[in-house]
Structure 1
Amino acid sequence: MKPIHTFICVFLFLSHILCDSPEDAKRKRALLVKKHLKRLKKIDGAIKLVGGRGEFEGNVEILHEGSWGAICDDEWDVNEARVICKQLGYLSSDAEPTVNSYFGPARRKYWMDNVYCDGSEEEISQCRFDGWGQNDCTSTEAAGVICSEPEEPKQKPKNDNKISMTPLGKDVKVRLKAGRVATEGRVEIKNAAGQWNVICGDGWSLFEALVVCRTLSLGYASDAMQTDFFGGNLTSESLGGIKCTGNETTFHHCLYNQHATGNCQSKDVAAVSCTETMSDLVIDHVDLMRTAHLEDKQMFFLQCAMEENCVASTAYEVQKENDAWHLETRRLLRFTARIFNAGNADFRPAIPKHLWEWHMCHMHYHSMEVFATFDIYNSTGQRVAEGHKASFCLEDNQCLPGVEPKYACANYGDQGISVNCSDIYKYTVDCQWVDISDLEPGKYRFKVAVNPEFKVPEMSFENNAAVCDFFYTETFGSVTNCVVQRP
């Protein structure tokens, strides 16, 4: 053995790494890196994933002021998931976001809510959000991700971390048990062997509850619960990771994750509450096309809107870097959003009245943090402009003949949308736009969605969005060919 090689071996030995084969040396180097990363995790803004099958997936927790906290799933999508995976050293291109506490309920307080990233950030704490600890979220709203491990060159293929879903099958039967009334209770399914088992509550949402109620001819889902209130014992046969789109005719058409069977993180079971009456919001796509137009507006007049994140990220960069930022202009695509309640029950916000947030700029309370989202996509489906409406004040602006308006925002009034009434946000209202200042001229897809996060139950979510063609030149913009569909 050469002297220099002997010296290296002795040095590595003293560092607890033996001069073994290249594969062993690589493994030990990885352990050292992992140990170093654990020390880095103690830094403010560090993140980790909890509750998943492996370290590549789980609910996201972030470190702030020396304690770990969860992130709420409000406005959580693929951009935020990509930043999380990037920060953890995984491939960001294949990041998959999860909501509704898919990997079990939040174990700690929420540090972040309404997180908005454009995808370029290196860490999630660099994204915009409401402020540390400011949230209105429950334990069933934890945000999570599923990341893909980096592929090692000339080695074994990378692991497929994506969830494999399997149909429940036509032999599956469903029932409700232990409810106070016949329309509520824990959900149990009967397998091919004739055994009844409860369902793991992880990731259980209104979509699955809606199909259960439809299957049992009990109307519509008013609540989807992850709870032990109705009893039931989780076993190795308890299914988990059940997913429905919400429009299945029967429950056996839904899918489930085989890997989640008997592996319930929350220890809570899935339960539902059904009702015969329910609201159903429908967006007026014709009024949207009729009122859409461009407007250039100085940032001085957008200060209120900037407080609610209603402009593009570059506007905040201009504000930081340019002393005369208030004289700069932003180009806005403005339009009217008319939302009609075609159901047989009033649409009411999910947040209790005492938790509504007062907005000084707009001089009224906001009862829903995210009632509508406005997005523009290019031909490849990439979101290129976003004008999210942080919150709405819900009221009856216009009703059909014979219907008396019930809800009004003024004077801390009750908020909602009555049956056969419309809430109308005219194009003249703050934040009723998409900031397209950075958009190149061309052809795009424009989408407006109401109740986009499905926080409030409805008869159906298939009519909550309008997707349109948007043609944009430097001086003109037109919105045409709108189609009503699911968000």
Structure 2
Amino acid sequence: MLQLKYTMNLIVLIILLIRTVKVFGKNVNEHERALRAEFVQNLLNKQNKFEGRIKLVGGSSKYEGNVYIYHAGRWGAVCDDNWDDEAAAVVCRSFNLSGIATIGSQYGEAIERFWLDDVICQGDETSLSKCVFNRWGSTDCEKDEVAGVICMEEEELPARHKDSDAMSLAYNEERLRDVIDVSKSKLRLTGGKNIREGRVEIFLNGSWGSICPDGWTVYEASAVCRHLGMGFAEQALQTYIFGFSNIILSGVSCEGNESSLFDCKHKQRGNVKCPGDIGHTAAVVCTHFLADLVLDTAVIERSAHLQDVMMFQLQCAMEENCLSRTAYEVQKLIPDWQYETRRLLRFTASSLNAGNAEFRPYLPKHLWQWHLCHMHYHSMEVFATFDVLDYNGLRVAEGHKASFCLEDNTCMNGVQKQYSCKNYGDQGISVNCSDVYMYNIDCQWVDVTDVKPGDYHFKVAVNPHARVAEQNYHNNAALCNLRLTTTYALVYGCRHERP
């Protein structure tokens, strides 16, 4: 209905604009022309009134929920790729509040198309549309990847996990096993076509019930599959397709390496309030065969170095939002911006598939996005993220890498290479093969132009949003020490952790 109304208004505008000029050899008088021009301007102002407006959907109050933005006459969701607290701050400022970010469709799956993806904000923008993002409607996100916010007064904001990404809210409750009688509690899957899939039900206080899917991710699903001895989580679902039963547990939060769901934390049990779509419950699909990417930390340490590059050499990279926000401000404000330089922290990233199944892009081949400037396809819009963090865990610089070519660059002895990107070939990483992004490839860097010399942490993560299921996510990221000077960068002491 909104789209129809928008289209009809555009038709009216076109007719009025035509009638304000000479038509079929007849002239309108100046008074009539002025009246029509004023009417057209008022109608344009009305059309633009809602442009860029934000609404929050699915939360327990009007100050929390999934984020939707108004553009071109209709509402659309915001994808959670790169979504962080800086972006949440921009959204919540419109309510004169502070905020924190949520990901994974915490307040229900997308009910509209996606308008924004790969949103990168500094936190001081006046509106979300002022942040850096892919062009309107350009996205590879699915309905379970809606970005959200919780807006509160600064002193009311909950704490964060110290050792996790800034997307995960801290749950102050104890582990489930510390507050329930584990000997009388059980877990099962029900409603599926086979024993390895279904909605998750838990037996508490003498009765079976479902789990609220708020914040339900592959990390929680992994704990369920291990708990039941069914291997690994192939999918974490928020759905009604496996049926429905009374919800008795909400806000489950796992690190992803627990052997039992009872080792995870939770918000409520018993008579709980479940945000999001009515009838949806937490569900899983388990498997014994998955890929497992392991970052080579030694390669990162050996290859990291600084390079100063003129901006005219970075124009394709700028189209992919691979530079910091100030680079785009320079482009707007300085006439000869092409001759300005950016300082890049370059490095090589090598990812070994140590699992027992191939690592394949989650999108089918016909949905890969063609990038004209670089003349290649993106099979995953965000395959890797790179962050420079201060010792308080605050991000001071960031980068990301689309997977324009997932292939078998090197393989262990006796393993035949299967995937090659030449001639629009299939993409993937075979078991016991590595995909290598060399330091001299576009966007294989972090723009540190605005970072002061000092000591920092440097974090590299592959498959950071767990869009492709894996056996283990705690070897997908490398957290390193970084010494940044005016002449060189030293990366050392890298160790594995979860993205």
**TM-score scaled by length of structure 1:** 0.85
**Bigger shift: 332-341 or 105-114?**
105-114
Any idea what the Cα deviations from partners look like across 1:256-312, whole Å, max 9, x if unmatched? Answer: 222882434212121111111111111111011111111111111111111111111
Aligned position for 1:249: 259
> Is 1:60 aligned to 2:73, yes or no?
no
Superposition pairs for residues 419-434 of structure 1, below 5 Å? Answer: 419-434=431-446
Q: Percent of aligned pairs with the same residue?
A: 52
In structure 2, the partner of 1:18 is: none
Measure, in 1, the Cα distance between the counterparts of 2:383 and 2:158.
35
In the alignment, is the contact (CA less than 8 A) between 2:171 and 2:253 conserved in 1?
no
**Post-superposition CA distance 1:214-262 (Å, at most 9, x none):** 00000001111112221123x3x43232221111121112222228824
Q: Given the alignment, which residue of 180, 186, 197 partners 2:209?
A: 197
Tell me, in whole angstroms, the C-alpha distance in 2 between the residues paired with 1:273 and 1:398.
Answer: 31
Could you say if the C-alpha distance between residues 160 and 332 of structure 1 is closer, same or farther in structure 2, counting changes exceeding 3 Å? closer
Aligned partners of 2:202, 2:230: CA distance in 1, in Å? 16
2 CA distance for matches of 1:301 and 1:114? Answer: 23
Q: Deviations over 1:108-149 (max 9, x none)?
A: 221111111121212111111112222222221111111113
Distance 1:211 1:150 in 2: 33
Structure 2 CA distance, aligned partners of 1:337 and 1:439? 22
Q: Tell me the distance in 1 between the aligned counterparts of 2:157 and 2:380.
A: 40
Aligned-residue CA RMSD (Å)? 2.2
- Whole-Å separation in 2 of the counterparts to 1:481 and 1:201: 38
**How far apart, CA to CA, are the structure 2 residues paired with 1:163 and 1:243?**
9
TM-score, normalised via structure 2 length:
0.83
CA distance in 1, matches of 2:85, 2:441: 29
Q: CA deviation at 1:66?
A: 3.0
For 1:468 and 1:335, the matched residues in 2 are separated by 13
Cα distance per residue 1:412-446 (max 9 Å; x no partner): 21111110000000111111111111111111111
CA contact (8 A) 2:133 2:321 kept: no
Q: 1:173 aligns with which of 186, 189, 206?
A: 186
Contact in 2 for aligned 1:40/1:46 (Cα 8 Å): no
Q: Distance in 1 between matches of 2:373 and 2:55?
A: 37
Q: Are the aligned partners of 1:49 and 1:57 in contact in 2 as well (CA < 8 Å)?
A: yes
What SS is found at the alignment partner of 2:77? strand
Aligned pairs for 1:26-425 within 5 A: 43-91=50-98, 95-149=99-153, 166=173, 167-168=175-176, 169=180, 170=182, 171-192=184-205, 194-233=206-245, 235=246, 237-258=247-268, 261-266=272-277, 267-425=279-437
| Deviation by residue 1:295-339 (Cα, 9 ceiling, x = unmatched) | 111111111111111111111111111221111111111111011
Partner of 1:435: 447
Q: Is the 8 A contact 2:59 2:275 kept in 1?
A: no
Helix, strand or coil at the partner of 1:287: helix
Determine helix, strand or coil for the equivalent of 1:238: strand
Change in CA separation of 1:387 and 1:159 when aligned onto 2, cut-off 3 Å: closer
Q: Is the 8 A contact 1:283 1:464 kept in 2?
A: yes
Q: Structure 1 320/42 Cα, relative in aligned 2: closer, same or farther at 3 Å?
A: closer
Retained in 1: the 8 A contact 2:378–2:402? no
Structure 1 segments of 4+ aligned residues over 4 angstroms from their partners? 39-42, 158-165
Confirm or deny: 8 A CA contact 2:134 2:320 kept in the other structure.
Answer: no
- The alignment partner of 2:250 has SS state of coil
Does the 8 A contact of 1:466 with 1:483 survive in 2? yes
Return 5+ residue gaps in structure 1 as ranges.
1-38, 152-157
Q: Determine the structure 2 residue equivalent to 1:32.
A: none
Tell me how far 1:187 sits from its aligned partner.
Answer: 1.0
Which moved further from structure 2: 141-150 or 421-430?
A: 141-150
In structure 2, the CA distance between the partners of 1:398 and 1:255, relative to structure 1 (3 Å rule), is: same
* Alignment check: 8 A CA contact 1:364 1:410 kept: no
Work out the CA distance in 1 between the residues paired with 2:447 and 2:472: 30
CA contact (8 A) 1:172 1:252 kept: no
Deviates further, 106-115 or 393-402: 106-115
Unpaired segments ≥5 residues, structure 2: 1-45, 160-168
Kept after mapping to 2: 8 A contact 1:309/1:390: no
Q: Is the 8 A contact 1:374 1:448 kept in 2?
A: yes
CA distance in 1, matches of 2:477, 2:460: 5
C-alpha distance in 2 between matches for 1:254 and 1:109: 33
